[in-house]
Chains A and B, each alone.
Chain A
Amino acid sequence: MLRPLTTALAAALLCSCATTAPAGNAATAPSDATTSSDAKPSRFMQDPYQSTYRAIAAGPVLIRNATVLTGTGERLDGADVLMRDGRVAAVGVALDAPADATRVDGSGKWVTPGIIDVHSHLGVYSSPGVSAHSDGNEATAPVTANVWAEHSVWPQDPGFAKAMAGGVTSLQVLPGSANLVGGRGVTLKNVPATTYQAMKFPGAPWGLKMACGENPKRVYGQKAGPSTRMGNVSGYRAAFIDASEYLKKNGKKQDDAPKPRRWWEGGNGNGNGNAADSEKDTGGKRDLKLDTLAGAINGDILVHIHCYRADEMATMLDLAKEFGFKIAAFHHGVEAYKLADRLAAEGVCGALWADWWGFKMEAFDGIQENIAIVDRPANSCAIVHSDSEEGIQRLNQEAAKVIAHAKLANMEIAPERAIRWLTRNAAKSLGILDQTGTLEAGKMADVVLWNGNPFSVYAQAEQVYVDGARVYDRKDSARQPKSDFMLGQSVIGGAL
């Protein structure tokens, strides 16, 4: 399960660090994935739109005497969290801290890793929801693997700041689900910026958004198709047949030797220029659509599939086997509970809502215990996701609803387990678990200080740290970002 993810991360890390070295943070990843021998980035992974993210320099911070949910499944009471140089330095009881550390009293409060939403359309369906902000579905053809969601992201979407106030430190922004293959998704650090590149999570692999079921067939049913579910599947297969051919022609060979630069790579010496994939490249024209699909087959781009029904998820698992790619996560999956054991056995995450249902036929069988049942088997990977500018602000509340209803069905779920649904498991599905998602020494200091148990309607994120910098403070208006759009609007009390 993890092998392709690790490879992807290795490649991507090198890809971004080699030229921009963002603040030294990504370069000092704890598990130093860059030492892999598989160091040349695949041609399909070249990134001309590189991250320019810079961690905000901040002195050491010690949160003392809090209830800490580490995201690894542990709960530590009366514990401290030390952040230093943008990283989690230590988690434990009565930690020593440097004299210059800012000390934050965590008494009666809870600390968790930063929340990660694996399914967001912030920036691509921005607020206000005017037609000009409809940038999430390239609904002009059923397979648009060539488009990248990041090229639609409007960093001034006021939703980013609201999500931050809800404890969200990272998010994957995806294309919509109109298309069979919607395009590449991008993982962002949730920090205010003028460009999306300055939010782009250093080294995070791209996602590939695909969609099952009703949406594509509805959107294309009156056009050239597909108009049926069988049409959907033939569409995926045709696309991956093309991609397999393309990969055969252009893909990396086992006995890789140093390769000459290809004409389509340009000569600007951007650090990736020598990264051709094939000895025998015939110099065919580069195809953006097939680049992405080939990257998915290679495991460099992580496949995220919008899919509601259990039977359709099973079809997609077969499709993945047919073409040799791995599915990172099914999104929405209101019927994932019907397939929970298989998802766990195949190492596929289920990114799910707590209780949405019934808005269309394929969502008719939603139940409130879905996440709990998906979480139950060994090696499971249940995730709470939002797909909503409202839900992303309150993923902790969504999880709380699941815990409550699971209990009613005799499934006791401890907070230290549930927090993984919105931190660790989310990070795993995005291929960034070795960077963030848990409070382990060496990871990015993406941390939330809550005013109490986060699994409550009254819980509020008091302080949010990204790479050790306090980017949000509910009690300090100087630490509450506001998008350009909100300037000059007659809004009182900007925090809420």
Chain B
Amino acid sequence: MTRRALKALAVAALAFAAFNAAAQDSVLIRNATVHTGGAQGTLQNADVLIAGGKVRAVGVGLIAPANAQVIDAQGRPLSPTLFGGITEIGLEEVSGEKSTVDETLALGSETKQMTVRPEFDVTLAYNPESLLIPVARIEGIGWTLLGAGTAMGGSIVAGQGGVVRLDGGPDPIGPRVLFVKLGADASGLSGSSRAAQWMILDQLIDEVRGRIGPDANAALLTPAGRATLGRYIGGGGRVMVSVNRAADIRQLLRWAARHKVRIAIAGGAEAWKLAPQLAAAKVPVFVDPLANLPADFDAVGATMENAARLRAAGVAVGFSQGGDASHNARKVRQLAGNAVAAGLPWADGLAGITSVPADAFGVGGEVGRIVPGQRADLVLWSGDPLEVSSVALQVWMDGRAITMRSRQTDLRDRYIRSEVPAEQGGLPRAYPATDTR
């Protein structure tokens, strides 16, 4: 039997298994405006067939298998679940309460010593039962990149994160991403000068390359750290660099080219000034279009047109927000919408929270598009998904319609109903609702 035939058989077997599963869980979403994010672009009055947790077909006039659940979208938009940005969802519950926060390593905080631990992996702290997950998910946010933060007692190399799907599963998908912070925000971690950030990074490379021995006085890395960092030097993994000033981005591009590091940029307030160079180096940039003020002297050139200018030059543009990105993950589509209002083509606005991040973080085969073979992580919207006046009506994860509830909808429903006064025998709201609404 030829390899090809074997493969065909395997595919047939898989399809059969999928068909059996489909008897219970196939879904046909009919008559939607399907934003595929793939080569098909946006399809009007289109159908999406889901079976076995995957998208099986996308097109017009699909035939529903027997027993398939059929949903009429009534022309409404259907998109892939959205990327929630770089967040700490599941790594922090209440930002101001340290005991609930796990994204930042600061082993040297007592002694104010720099400790460099690229092997630090925040995904190990991920709590799939975090209350933040349903809050984001019912707004159409299906996945996020967990990021590692920096603090005094750590270093500009924050550690690793990874992509998690917000389906309640415990494990990340795809490869790890290494986080590095540069510029003014990190100068306290590099002896009060951003110049030293390159000195430190070059030293780490010397350690990885063995030019500084493990027992040398200057050595910063543990054996695990050398192994981890070694995987990212030479193009082995994605390094997400938080940086805003154009001059720093220029240095970063040179450094990345010198050491063959596959970088992406988070923030990039002044990235538009180097748009052609970023496009040539194929560096995806994750911008916050709402950050249009000179928040500091690294972002004097901040503009809402950042996304549009980068894209026009051919840069892959994604979105991620500053501030409390985790609790506000649902705001990411507002970022995309504002970028569109400031000149970014609409399809690129959606791509910035779907296919661009999926491809940048090595999970483009699973999420970020509605194409056959991808996970059926989908959102049916009341209207334009980038529009603040739209809401997610239904979210599917692996083809299963999720319960569109969170602790916030529970709170809402507890207080939206009128209360029966105690004089009339009404129980306080702490008791389950009975007759009133």
Taking beta carbons and an 8 Å cutoff, which residues of A are in contact with B?
A: 127-130, 158-159, 162, 214, 337-338, 340, 355-361, 364-369, 373, 389-390, 393-394, 397, 400-401, 403-405, 407-409, 455-460, 485-486, 489-493, 496
Contact = CB atoms under 8 A, between A and B. Distances in A.
A135 B295 CA distance: 15
Contact of B324 (A128, A359, A389, A408): A359
A357 B386 CA distance: 21
Given A367-B408, A367-B411, A369-B412, A130 B297 contact: yes
B33 interface: no
Interface stretch (B227-235, B249-257, B334-342): B334-342
A5 B340 CA distance: 43
Contacts of B382: 404
B415 interface: yes
B301 A129 contact: no
Contacts of B386: 457
B388 interface: yes
A204 to B, nearest CB: 26
Contacts of A404: 382, 388-391
Interface stretch (B17-25, B46-54, B197-205, B286-294): B286-294
B282 to A, nearest CB: 24
Contact of A458 (B326, B330, B340): B340
Given A128-B294, A493-B303, A496-B292, A403 B95 contact: no
B416 interface: yes
Interface string B297-338: 101110111000000000000000000101110110010011
Top 9 nearest A-B pairs (CB, nearest first) are: A457-B337, A360-B96, A358-B327, A496-B304, A359-B95, A400-B388, A127-B293, A457-B388, A367-B408
Given A359-B94, A457-B338, 17 more contacts: A159-B293, A337-B412, A337-B415, A357-B327, A365-B411, A367-B408, A367-B411, A368-B408, A373-B415, A393-B292, A400-B388, A455-B388, A455-B389, A457-B388, A459-B341, A490-B273, A496-B292
Contacts of A364: 94
Contacts of B412: 337, 367-369, 373, 409
B296 interface: yes
Given A367-B412, A457-B337, A128 B95 contact: no
B330 A128 contact: no
Interface residues of B, number: 47
B423 interface: no
Contacts of A129: 295-296
Nearest to B92: A358
A128 B296 contact: yes
A456 B305 contact: no
A128 B295 contact: yes
B387 interface: yes
A263 B412 CA distance: 57
Which of A356, A364, A367, A405 has the most chain B CB atoms closer than 10 A to its own CB?
A367
A338 B327 CA distance: 21
B220 interface: no
B96 A359 contact: yes
Given A373-B415, A489-B301, A360 B97 contact: yes
Contacts of A456: 387-389
A456 B330 CA distance: 16
Interface string B65-106: 000000000000000000000000000011111000000000
25 contacts: A127-B293, A128-B294, A128-B299, A338-B415, A355-B330, A356-B328, A357-B408, A358-B95, A359-B327, A360-B94, A361-B96, A367-B411, A373-B415, A394-B338, A397-B334, A400-B389, A404-B382, A404-B388, A404-B389, A408-B391, A456-B387, A489-B301, A492-B303, A493-B303, A496-B304
B433 to A, nearest CB: 14
Contacts of A159: 293
Contacts of A128: 294-297, 299-300
Contacts of A401: 334, 388-389
Interface string B203-220: 000000000000000000
Nearest to B94: A361
Interface in B254-302: 273, 290-297, 299-301
Nearest to A485: B294
A355 B293 contact: no
A493 to B, nearest CB: 6
A69 B340 CA distance: 26
Contacts of A393: 290, 292
Contact of A360 (B95, B294, B296): B95
Interface in B410-426: 411-413, 415-416
Nearest to A494: B303
Contacts of A373: 412, 415-416
Given A360-B96, A458-B337, A458-B341, A162 B301 contact: no
A409 B406 CA distance: 14
A355 B328 contact: yes
Contacts of B337: 457-458
A291 to B, nearest CB: 34
A486 B340 CA distance: 25
B132 interface: yes
B408 A366 contact: yes
B391 A162 contact: no
A158 B390 CA distance: 31
